[in-house]
Copies of this chain bind each other. A is one copy, B any other.
Amino acid sequence: MTTTTEPGPTAATAAGIEAVAEVARRLLPADGVISDHARLRTYECDGLAHYRVTPALVVMPEDTAQLAAVVRACAEHRVPYVARGSGTGLSGGALPHAEGVLVVTSRMRSITQMRPEDQRAVVDPGVINLDVTRAATPHGYYYAPDPSSQQICSIGGNVAENSGGAHCLKYGFTTNHVVGADFVTSDGDVVALGGDAPDTPGYDLLGAVVGSEGTLGVVTSTTVRLTRLPEEVRTILVGFATTDQAGAATSAIISAGIVPAAIEMMDALAIEAAEAATHCGYPEGAGAVLVIELDGASGEVEAEYAEVERFCAENGAFEQRLATDPTDRALIWKGRKSAFAAVGRISPDYIVQDGVIPRTALPEVLTAIAELSASSGVRVANVFHAGDGNLHPLVLFDDAVEGAGEAAEEVSGAILDLCIQHGGSITGEHGVGMDKAKYMPRMYTDEDLDTMQMVRCAFDPQNISNPGKVFPTPRLCGEVPGRHKGAHPLQDAGVAEVF
């Protein structure tokens, strides 16, 4: 299953890397530049551990100027670079390049401005997601996007992947909470994107950069929107006999115009794993649970709660438990948020899949996944953001068993096909990265992908900013624009393996 690329740079490129290392050694503290092979190995993967590549050099800049200088040196010597935050990504977006530099932002960890009066904070790229909320809470605010990894993942990584989380149903993704950023171009220039004004003139390049997975450049200092802490929060754990019932309850709630802060669903296998790992007190024998959270003004939450309770009961809920205090609430969430890791208790290996379907297709797709599982003998646990149809099937296998990894990969890919067939998407929030580049042509036409690659070429004509990610086939950016040949310049450009 594991793809490991060895060894490091060829002699031809070693000179360029050494030149970048020299620049880094001149500007950064000695321990901020790593070129020792054994230590480089510790950076060989991100959260998607089945791809492993040892980078040729690791640098840990302390500020935007140092980071930009390293990128400038990379550009001058045509050395690829990959930015990495906490390395928790699940699509291999921060997988190093064997002949390139890994730029680690873990030393850029200051919250430089906390401005609750206008609901903004300015943070360095290495700042941990949850630390923004911790800093804002005393002022009555928090940072809304909450990936499951929020205790460890970085804002820079969140921006690169446009990370979501359980509460994105109501509050939107990272892109809805980032209003400005300092951006290091592939030449090492620093430009300002976005800003405080509600609609900045010119192009919304910030929107294009958020979620571009480091392929357009590197975002450093980021201005984020803070969200006011709600007056009241109610968290409800609801048990159903089947996922169909839980899905129907979800549809009833959303169709009534209620937008809960979160509606999470877990199936029997996921419940079993979570219970074993966290003793979260999920209802025994449930075929599915929903974790529903309502937040807002007290009166509103109370009114919504009454409706939600009724919709759940009408759709067959056999147990509904309202969290009695913050500890109880935290325990309910612990079961859900540690579900991925908990699956390790019931299976030696597993793939975390990430796909999206229209919410109304939920019952049909879950049935199809169950059939896939039955016919292949591969177990699948389902954990997902039910409110917006973002599935996270966990495909279980044992790598020690011959062929098991391949069988799991096959089921995992077939689940994405199901998502596409139902009008959904190959990723909801984990990104394309290395892992899903091959699936992009199933979702997009050649013209769609060409349009994206045009933009990539504009930002990064040398293809050095996180190359090999997102796009299945890199393209040469050498076509001279301004010459019209009856088709788009990129359609004329030869397809080439750039590395």
A interface vs B, CB < 8 Å?
A: 75-76, 78, 117-118, 140, 162, 164, 168, 173, 175, 183, 185, 187, 189-193, 195-205, 207-208, 210-212, 216, 228, 255, 257, 296-297, 299-300, 303, 356, 358-360, 388-390, 423-429, 431-432, 436, 440, 443-445, 447-449, 451-452, 454-459, 461-462, 470, 476-478, 480-484, 486-489
Total identical chains: 2
Whole-angstrom CA separation of A438 from B367 in the bound complex: 59
Within 8 Å by CB of A428, from B199, B388, B488, lies B199
Task: Give the distance to chain B from A197, nearest Cβ to Cβ, in Å.
Answer: 3
Given contacts A478-B482, A481-B461, contact A390 B198 (CB under 8 A): yes
Within 8 Å by CB of A459, from B195, B255, B296, B454, lies B454
> Is the pair A455, B457 in contact by a Cβ cutoff of 8 Å?
no
Whole-angstrom CA separation of A17 from B140 in the bound complex: 61
* CB-nearest residue of chain B to A419: B197
Beyond known contacts A78-B484, A208-B455: 8 more, CB 8 A cutoff: A118-B358, A183-B451, A199-B425, A204-B210, A205-B452, A297-B300, A299-B300, A300-B300
A356: which B residues are within 8 A, CB to CB? 197-199
Task: Give the distance to chain B from A43, nearest Cβ to Cβ, in Å.
Answer: 25
> Is the pair A477, B482 in contact by a Cβ cutoff of 8 Å?
yes
Task: Give the distance to chain B from A317, nearest Cβ to Cβ, in Å.
Answer: 23
Whole-angstrom CA separation of A459 from B488 in the bound complex: 9
Given contacts A358-B196, A489-B461, contact A202 B429 (CB under 8 A): no
Task: Give the distance to chain B from A101, nearest Cβ to Cβ, in Å.
Answer: 16
Task: Give the distance to chain B from A332, nearest Cβ to Cβ, in Å.
Answer: 24
Given contacts A208-B208, A297-B303, A423-B196, contact A201 B455 (CB under 8 A): no
Most B Cβ at <10 Å: residue of A207, A425, A429, A445 = A207
Whole-angstrom CA separation of A294 from B455 in the bound complex: 41
Within 8 Å by CB of A487, from B175, B187, B440, B444, lies B187
> Is the pair B75, A484 in contact by a Cβ cutoff of 8 Å?
yes
> Is the pair B444, A202 in contact by a Cβ cutoff of 8 Å?
yes
Within 8 Å by CB of A204, from B175, B192, B297, lies B175
A200: which B residues are within 8 A, CB to CB? 425
A-B contact pairs, 12 of them (CB 8 A): A173-B198, A189-B488, A198-B356, A200-B425, A201-B427, A202-B470, A205-B455, A208-B455, A228-B257, A454-B458, A455-B455, A461-B489
